[in-house]
Amino acid sequence: LRKIGILTSGGDAPGMNAAVAAIIKTGIAKGLEVYVVEDGYKGLVNGCIQKADIAFASEIQSRGGTAIGSARLPEFQELAVREKAVMNLKKFGIEALVVIGGDGSYMGAQRLTEMGINCIGLPGTIDNDIVSSDYTIGFDTALNTIVEAIDRIRDTMQSHNRCDVVEVMGNKCGDLALYAGLATGAEIISTSEDKLSEETIVSQVKKLSEASKRSVIVLVSEKLYPDVHSLAKKIEEASGYITRATVLGHIQRGGTPSAMDRYLATTMGIFAVEELLKGHGGLYVGQQGNDLVARDIQSTLNMARKDKSQVLADARLLNSQV
């Protein structure tokens, strides 16, 4: 193996740059030439490929977002489109690739491996929705951003005896809501795995109001309710709290990566290059306890999600007390 490539795909996540930097530095330290592909599979198909050096790696390693760009290219599911990508890689002499992204991106990596380009996937998403890894690159940073935002909202809700409905990201995974709910003492937590009906939320807030709770945070995963502002209105009417809704949105995706995300990204980046040097491909790196493991991409897509219902039950019990 002499030349490897890196791309980031799907939604960006803080820590992706630390992974890219670690792959560049490890590759160069092991005598490889390392190339970066701009804008994910789109850049691969269009031939936007550049040689990377240590100066570039050092410059980006602590920055948020992804410095090499990310994009979605649904057409990558078509063989003819992927053939163009493989042709471009061959033009540069790139024999293997590290793909940093979500599980959609791994399907692309799997297909490329089947076409002779060994690919290793790294889990880069704030959503923590990759079942084969305890944590994904970006989750810790986004979680800290959410916790800081909720703490700020709490200050003002507490001062004015109010309620706020806070909507957080997570795609179909409730971990951001669950972990942030536990960390901030949110009185009501509704996650993708255990959605509370609007009626339940309204009646629970009403109860807290009757018990003279000074402030209430209702923390909900995205995509659960048609409109959190109208939910806030219903809460206000039933409980008497002045109630607002805050959709944290893309604030959660950006920002300087936390130390833990940089650590995870860097160790995973080193691990990925080592796997490629062993001649492995079609694998996906995950964190399991204190270890990194490489699993077959196909098998990771069918793994069951960890059951965190007891943590949610505990958080709800603790936080709903007055």
Annotated binding site for ADP: 154, 185-187, 213-215
Single out the residue of 41, 179, 241, 271 in contact with ligand ATP (rule: CB under 6 A): 41
Segment holding 43, helix H or strand E: helix 40-46
Single out the residue of 47, 92, 104, 267 in contact with ligand ATP (rule: CB under 6 A): 104
Q: Is 121 in the site for ligand ATP (CB under 6 A)?
A: no
Q: Which of 12, 127, 129, 261 is catalytic?
A: 127
Q: Is 39 in the site for ligand ATP (CB under 6 A)?
A: no
Q: Where are the beta strands (DSSP E) in the chain?
A: 3-8, 33-37, 49-51, 96-101, 118-123, 162-168, 188-190, 216-221, 242-247, 283-288, 291-296
Q: Is 111 in the site for ligand ATP (CB under 6 A)?
A: yes
For residue 280, what is the DSSP state?
A: -
Strands lying side by side in the sheet with 216-221: 188-190, 216-221, 162-168, 242-247
Q: Are 12 and 70 in contact (CB under 8 A)?
A: yes
- In the Cβ-directed half-sphere of 107, how many Cα atoms lie within 13 Å? 13
Answer yes or no: 151 catalytic: no
Query: In this chain, which stretch among 105-113, 260-268, 294-302, 308-316 interacts with ligand ATP, using CB under 6 A?
Result: 105-113
**Residue 27 vs 40, nearer CB to ligand ATP:** 40
**Residue 13 vs 270, nearer CB to ligand ATP:** 13
Q: Please, what is the end-to-end C-alpha distance for the chain in angstroms? A: 62
Query: In this chain, which stretch among 66-74, 113-121, 196-204, 274-282 interacts with ligand ATP, using CB under 6 A?
Result: 66-74
Segment holding 46, helix H or strand E: helix 40-46
By CB under 6 A, name the binding residues for ligand ATP: 9-11, 41, 72-74, 76-77, 101-105, 107-108, 111, 125
